[in-house]
Amino acid sequence: MKKILMLLAISAILFAACSNDDDPEPIPPISDELNGDITSEITLDASVTYRLTGTLSIKDGGVLNIPAGTTIKATKGFSSYVIVEQGGTIMAKGNSSAPIKFTSAEASPSAGDWGGIIINGYAPISGPTEGTTGNTEVNENIPYGGTVADDNSGVLEYVILENTGARSTEDVEHNGLTLNGVGNGTTINHIYVLDGADDGIEFFGGTVNVSNLLVVNPDDDMFDVTQGWSGTLSNAYGIWENGYASTEDDPRGIEADGNLDGNGPDHVGQSNFTIENVTIKNASDYIMEDGIKIRRGATATITNALIIGGSAKDIIDLTDSKSDANTNTAISLTIDGTTFTGNEIKSNESYPDVAIVAGNTGATVSAFDWTGFSF
């Protein structure tokens, strides 16, 4: 913490010394250790392997620039994570030949070693009224949500997240990438989440769009939606590899709620999102709870979806004890060798646009060549 605070003190001096209106050059950190608060602009050095030794918070007005090829290794623990608060900005711009990598610092890394990345924005979430705000699961003192649909929290491109998902309790845990009220001015594409506890990605409301997402061996859901997300996820591939096992009760390919935990069936701004060109593959003996679960007032439009191999209890489940999926939900899904012990489509109402079809091709795997993952 002292090292980050020293950096920020130096930054303040240089800002005061500027004699013109030009923005000052970003100041590189003076240490390879990352933790504490970022309140000005700093830029990392791709030639340095950084150590994330606690919570790194990008505050309102703060900017963290991470150049292509940077590696950040997190010490083990629930408090090791990166959080972009409302008004903060992360500019993590990797490329296909030099991705940015966040991983565990453990000699023998495993799922749940550290927290992952959380981004909090000012975009709408579901709630009793328009402009509702929520509180970050891992730190209830940090808000998200609002009314700024095009809010911009920065860029994540060609980013690898390994061994994420540390938990405090069963109900307080990290995902690989958590997007809380993130606006569609934010750019997120080419993301690889490997061997994480809890979900690969979770959208808590917001309007952000994400493309070219690969999730491998998440302990819980591959793709999770809640609290009023209204963006688009395109070209997404989730896989459980041979030998996969889960510590969770009900891992799924896609899980989507209209409102938080189903406790706001009358809330405004329920989830109404699109997922296009998606593959869910189960190459293990583990029985998936559901291939696709849409519930609690959510409206999903899922096109060119493909589920491959393995077994699931239900292929598509549109029911829930709190409330079912919105009947405007539309799903086009092809099944390739996946067996089910329950229902092909489980519903209590009529869903005229939900169908099992032939010919869907799912995600384009060549978009993930940069990861080195073997399909």
Sketch the domain layout of the chain as residue ranges: 33-371
Q: What pLDDT, on a 0 to 100 scale, did the predictor assign at position 292?
A: 98
Burial of 251 (0-12, 13-18, 19+ CB in 10 A): buried
Residue 21 is predicted with a pLDDT of 41
CATH architecture of the domain covering 33-371:
3 Solenoid (2.160)
What distance in Å separates the CA atoms of residue 201 and residue 16, rounded to the nearest whole number? 40
- Calculate the alpha carbon distances from 308 to 179, 196, 216, 312, 367 in Å: 27, 21, 14, 11, 19
pLDDT score recorded for residue 170: 81
Which residues, including other chains, have CB under 8 Å from residue 349's CB and lie 6 or more apart? 318, 324, 327
- Across the chain, which distance is largest between two alpha carbons, in Å? 71
| pLDDT for position 31 | 85
| Residue 127 DSSP one-character state | B
Q: Give mean pLDDT in consecutive 10-residue pieces for the chain, a chain of 375 residues.
A: 39 35 50 95 96 98 98 98 98 98 98 98 98 97 98 98 93 95 98 98 98 98 98 98 95 98 97 98 98 98 98 98 98 98 97 98 98 96
DSSP-derived pairing of the beta strands 172-173 and 33-38: unpaired
Give the CA angle between residues 316, 217, 221 to the nearest 5°.
40
Q: Structure tokens of 132?
A: 């509702």
Question: Cβ contacts of residue 11 below 8 Å, gap of 6+?
Answer: 27, 40, 41, 42
Cα 328-332-333 angle, rounded to 5 deg: 135
pLDDT number for residue 1? 40
pLDDT at 28: 59
3-state helix, strand, coil split of the chain in percent (to 5) is 5, 45, 45
Phi-psi region of 150 (alpha: psi -120 to 50; beta: other; left: phi over 0): alpha
Model pLDDT, residue 171:
83
